[in-house]
Structure 1
């Protein structure tokens, strides 16, 4: 425990230095960090009750009142009585107040951009993910995590083969033959790839790969959805449905009239996604311990 305490204190000293650099432009401005935070909260909404603002930021009532008085003198805020309760005061930013905050906010954003200039894209994703982990552990608990859908980058296709091989072996016992099948599908996608008629997508959560799907050409009128996968840690977030939606959208733009897919009956979660997206089961074939299925829908 004592070693862990020492590590956290050392990180605090390091991070305090980083924050000092990031806040330099704000410190050069006529407003303190606390005052800028108040402007930030007021900029997020049209009007805000003084009591709500005080509780949100943990400020002393007298200190907040003096601060708002200064802002009012500077023409940054207006204060008035609540129409629903005359005992309460509501505050809002003026146009001048929003302009001042926008300038301060842009200065802060510029500092962060400069901080990240020398950091690789991969390390940026690691940094953001680590910050999210700290917030989750030391904050009020886990929050809904955002995700992004992006095109494949170098290294992603190897990950697609690896995760299909490992995950489906762990969950269903499928062996090297299945992994080899996935590798061939990926290789076929790359060979003679026509970006106007074929595309792939990678889902990321907290900077880590969390899912994938591909839309490939079956024939001139039919697209094929292939290799849908969502990591167990990211299931329940709607990523699978979002990936399928992206595939359908692309297939329509590419000029296909219908889209088809192949799956297995044991993949219950995927089958629910396909059915929700409007696919219908049109054919089956018995395999070893499962039934192979063909699903299709018009576009």
Structure 2
């Protein structure tokens, strides 16, 4: 392969993507860079201007103008960070989330239109080729924390949550199909009837594939949310995925007005329990039980969202 080969491919791919985006007015009324900033805000559980500058390699003045425009359009809110008053926390408003979702929908339609031109039998080749390009040009470096994306679930992701929970807990703890049934019921209840303003699922994605997940749902107690089904794939552990997923739930629950966040787990899940403790959860009750084919010790944990540090 020569330099000219790479440049020729770059021109070809740029023309394909550029023509597709232009024909669908993909980012209107925002520029590509503005849309990238909006995307980062929609997929990061918490962020500030310094985070955005680092992640997107943007000039401070240019980013400031973009954020001013977003604030004028009612897309974002800026508030001082409780951890460091010198830093400004940036969050999307409801209108901002709707706008980000619209741009994401357009992007999905655009990519879908592109894939529709590829015969079904050839799409696996395309996927393998794209993965090969990414692998070779990454210079063999291991995944980094910043390579992990938190996003909302897409088609098939809820089924993935059921499948991976069942497989992982069977492999690591010997739990039987009773656990898969429990997870399936939890996920089905969410899919069939949930309030998107008060309940949410996050998928952690690495290199285009899901590697973790968590849910936040309403609890029976007033003003209380429940964290459920925290999971991180073994090959992706060590990247802080569990911490980020739990932090995403905490931020979301606090922002929408919950007073308390609770969860139920078992003491054999020591890694998960350490994550909960780091984020301020307190053990409030525990009880032995026989479930999933094992003798277990169930635990109830609670976090006071008004007292928890941001």
TM-score class, shorter: 0.5 to 0.7
Aligned to 1:205: 206
Aligned to 2:271: 269
8 A contact 1:125–1:206 mirrored in 2: no
Q: How far apart, CA to CA, are the structure 1 residues paired with 2:4 and 2:178?
A: 53
Aligned to 2:215: 214
8 A contact 1:260–1:294 mirrored in 2: yes
Q: 1:172 to 1:297 in 2, by over 3 A?
A: same
Q: 1:203 to 1:272 in 2, by over 3 A?
A: same
1:196, distance to aligned residue in structure 2 (A): 0.9
1:255, distance to aligned residue in structure 2 (A): 1.1
TM-score, structure 1 normalization: 0.59
Q: What is the aligned length?
A: 200
Q: How far apart, CA to CA, are the structure 2 residues paired with 1:217 and 1:161?
A: 20
1:118 is paired with a residue whose SS is helix
Does residue 1:22 correspond to 2:10, yes or no?
yes
RMSD of aligned alpha carbons: 3.2
Q: 1:247 to 1:127 in 2, by over 3 A?
A: farther
1:270, distance to aligned residue in structure 2 (A): 0.4
Does residue 1:118 correspond to 2:114, yes or no?
yes
8 A contact 1:125–1:208 mirrored in 2: no
Write out per-residue CA displacement over residues 101-122 of structure 1, whole angstroms, 9 at most, x where no aligned residue. xxxxxxxxxxxxx9997247x9
Write out per-residue CA displacement over residues 131-172 of structure 1, whole angstroms, 9 at most, x where no aligned residue. 332245xx3643526110001111000000000001100000
**Unaligned segments of structure 2, at least 5 residues:** 15-56, 60-109, 117-122, 306-310
1:221, distance to aligned residue in structure 2 (A): 0.8
Q: 1:130 to 1:208 in 2, by over 3 A?
A: farther
Q: How far apart, CA to CA, are the structure 2 residues paired with 1:257 and 1:45?
A: 37
Write out per-residue CA displacement over residues 212-239 of structure 1, whole angstroms, 9 at most, x where no aligned residue. 0000000331000000000001101011
Does residue 1:259 correspond to 2:261, yes or no?
yes
2:258 is paired with a residue whose SS is coil
Aligned to 1:225: 227
Q: How does 1:78-93 map to 2 (within 5 A)?
A: none
Higher relative contact order (CA 8 A, sep 6+): 2
Q: How far apart, CA to CA, are the structure 1 residues paired with 2:248 and 2:301?
A: 17
Q: How far apart, CA to CA, are the structure 1 residues paired with 2:156 and 2:296?
A: 31
